[in-house]
């Protein structure tokens, strides 16, 4: 039986091994490992890719959100609106700064935050909104930005899964006050370790974030405020610069694979990813929705097909957020989605034979 993994990073490495090996060796030979030339160049390249003025490399996608909130002066007593249907990092960073996450339910078609429900949750303590571009599809940013402007709120994009995605005529990363990207290995642009990037068009904010990531310092051993240590390292930057050249090509492949899946599952009682007509998603995951998920997982496992659930427990029902006193039934769409979504194998190197294996196995249950 030929197994089909959810993701195959070895296959990706094989396709670019010579360039990767050369880039890594060059960094080691140069002997600069923190905030060197590769970090500087990657920051410029990501900024250009996202149509922004500034890119700031940080240690992870989580830190990209945390440092963005810090730079925007979100702190104790503030409230930040976000989605409960996302990875914990989105809300975790809010709590780490002493602020309160305020959840708004999702649009059941896109799984992104429902803009129509945001306004009702705004209070005098609301400071920011963090929309998540889940699975690589942009949230409905015009409505979110319009609401934020009317209430003088900061918008921080969580694009951990969405580098290269487009919303209308804009790139993900250029719409919010800042945007946080993740370079976790499983992302569309993945490092060989942790890493992240913040993009912004605000010069003062970029300067402040650069200081925050190096202990509140511009000049060595001179600290103007309390910051942290959150620096993208030179080895990861060198690897990411090689991969960035391939990203558009990989995105096209992901979109092709998604289209094949969607056509194969049409009319079979499987809910496939809904794409807004104004969006160009990048499919960090290809996530279907079914009523008999546990049976399907077991069936696919027997067929050698790996799957994953993104995400099995909405944040408002996580023990870590129990102090917020949310309960089951508070966010119906997020709760229902968490019981039905299932991510199938999705990566650019997925062969036609592997695709057929996945499709045949899924359809074997329908």
Residue 305 backbone zone (phi > 0: left; psi -120 to 50: alpha; other: beta) = beta
Q: What percentage of the chain has pLDDT greater than the value 70? A: 100
Number of CB atoms found within 10 A of residue 185's CB: 14
Does residue 206 sit in the same domain as residue 252?
no
CATH number of the domain where residue 289 is located: 3.90.1150.10
Of 219, 244, 269, at which residue does a domain stop?
Answer: 244
**What distance lies between CA 71 and its chain's CA centroid?**
20
Does any domain span residue 286? yes
Question: What pLDDT score does 2 carry?
Answer: 80
Does residue 252 sit in the same domain as residue 210?
no
Does any domain span residue 3? no
Per-residue pLDDT reduced to its tens digit, 108-150: 999 999 999 999 999 999 999 999 999 999 999 999 999 999 9
Q: What percentage of the chain has pLDDT greater than the value 90? A: 99
- Is the distance from CB of 38 to CB of 234 less than 8 angstroms? yes
Per-residue pLDDT reduced to its tens digit, 4-51: 999 999 999 999 999 999 999 999 999 999 999 999 999 999 999 999
- What does pLDDT average to over the chain? 98
Does residue 261 sit in the same domain as residue 213?
no
Per-residue pLDDT reduced to its tens digit, 85-94: 999 999 999 9
Per-residue pLDDT reduced to its tens digit, 284-315: 999 999 999 999 999 999 999 999 999 999 99
Does any domain span residue 1? no
Does residue 220 sit in the same domain as residue 349?
no
Does residue 239 sit in the same domain as residue 268?
no
Q: Which domain holds residue 347?
A: 247-363
Does residue 67 sit in the same domain as residue 14?
yes
Question: What pLDDT score does 298 carry?
Answer: 98
Q: Which two tokens stand for residue 149?
A: 């402007």
Of 188, 219, 244, at which residue does a domain stop?
Answer: 244
Whether the ω angle into residue 311 lies within 30 degrees of 0, i.e. cis, is: yes
Does any domain span residue 96? yes
Does any domain span residue 117? yes
Q: Which two tokens stand for residue 105?
A: 């339910």
User: How many domains are contained in the chain?
Assistant: 2
- Smallest Cα–Cα separation from 23: which of 234, 246, 248? 234
- CA pair distance 361, 366, nearest whole angstrom: 10
Does residue 222 sit in the same domain as residue 271?
no
Fill in the DSSP letter of residue 201.
S
Does residue 223 sit in the same domain as residue 345?
no
Question: What pLDDT score does 1 carry?
Answer: 67
Does any domain span residue 274? yes
- The sheet carrying 100-103 orders its strands as 54-58, 196-200, 178-182, 154-158, 126-130, 79-82, 100-103
Q: Which two tokens stand for residue 100?
A: 């309160």
Torsion of CA 137, 139, 141, 143, to 10 degrees: 140
Which sign, positive or negative, has the C-alpha torsion 275, 106, 191, 345?
negative
Does residue 262 sit in the same domain as residue 322?
yes
Instruction: Kindly calculate the radius of gyration of the chain based on its CA atoms and give it in whole angstroms.
Output: 20
**Cα end-to-end distance, the chain, whole Å:** 21
CATH number of the domain where residue 126 is located: 3.40.640.10
Q: Which two tokens stand for residue 26?
A: 């060059």
Does residue 51 sit in the same domain as residue 137?
yes
Does residue 118 sit in the same domain as residue 178?
yes
Instruction: Say what the pTM is.
Output: 0.97
Of 185, 210, 244, at which residue does a domain stop?
Answer: 244
Does any domain span residue 84? yes
Helix residue spans in the chain (DSSP H): 9-30, 37-49, 61-71, 89-96, 141-150, 203-213, 234-244, 247-265, 293-302, 332-340, 352-363
Does any domain span residue 341? yes
Per-residue pLDDT reduced to its tens digit, 154-189: 999 999 999 999 999 999 999 999 999 999 999 999
Does residue 111 sit in the same domain as residue 159?
yes
């Amino acid at each position: 039986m030929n197994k089909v993994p959810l993701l195959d990073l070895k296959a990706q490495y094989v396709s670019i091994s010579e360039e990767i090996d050369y880039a890594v060796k060059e960094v080691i030979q140069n002997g600069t490992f923190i905030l060197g030339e590769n970090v500087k160049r990657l920051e410029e390249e990501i900024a250009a890719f996202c149509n922004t003025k500034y890119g700031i490399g940080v240690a992870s996608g989580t830190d990209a959100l945390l440092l963005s909130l810090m730079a925007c002066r979100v702190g104790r007593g503030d409230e930040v609106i976000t989605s409960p249907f996302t990875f914990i990092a989105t809300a975790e960073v809010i709590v780490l700064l002493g602020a309160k996450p305020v959840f708004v339910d999702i649009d059941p078609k896109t799984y992104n935050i429902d803009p129509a429900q945001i306004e009702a949750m705004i209070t005098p303590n609301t400071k920011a909104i963090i929309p998540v571009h889940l699975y690589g599809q942009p949230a409905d940013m015009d409505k979110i930005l319009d609401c934020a402007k009317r209430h003088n709120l900061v918008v921080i994009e969580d694009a951990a899964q969405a580098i290269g995605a487009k919303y209308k005529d804009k790139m993900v990363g250029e719409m919010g006050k800042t945007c946080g990207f993740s370079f976790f290995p499983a992302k569309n642009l993945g490092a060989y370790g942790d890493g992240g990037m913040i993009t912004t068009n605000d010069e003062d904010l970029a300067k402040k974030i650069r200081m925050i990531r190096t202990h509140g310092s511009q000049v060595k051993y001179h600290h103007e405020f309390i910051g942290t240590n959150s620096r993208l390292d030179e080895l990861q930057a060198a690897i990411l610069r090689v991969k960035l050249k391939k990203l558009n090509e990989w995105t096209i492949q992901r979109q092709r694979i998604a289209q094949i899946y969607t056509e194969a599952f049409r009319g079979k009682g499987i809910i496939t990813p809904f794409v807004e007509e104004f969006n160009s998603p990048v499919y960090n995951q290809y996530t279907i929705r079914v009523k008999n998920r546990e049976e399907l997982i077991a069936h696919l496992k027997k067929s050698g097909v790996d799957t994953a659930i993104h995400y099995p427990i909405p944040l408002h029902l996580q023990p870590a957020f129990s102090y917020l006193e949310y309960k089951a039934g508070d966010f119906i769409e997020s709760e229902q989605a968490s019981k039905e979504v299932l991510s199938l194998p999705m990566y650019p190197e997925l062969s036609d034979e592997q695709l057929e294996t996945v499709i045949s196995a899924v359809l074997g249950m329908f």
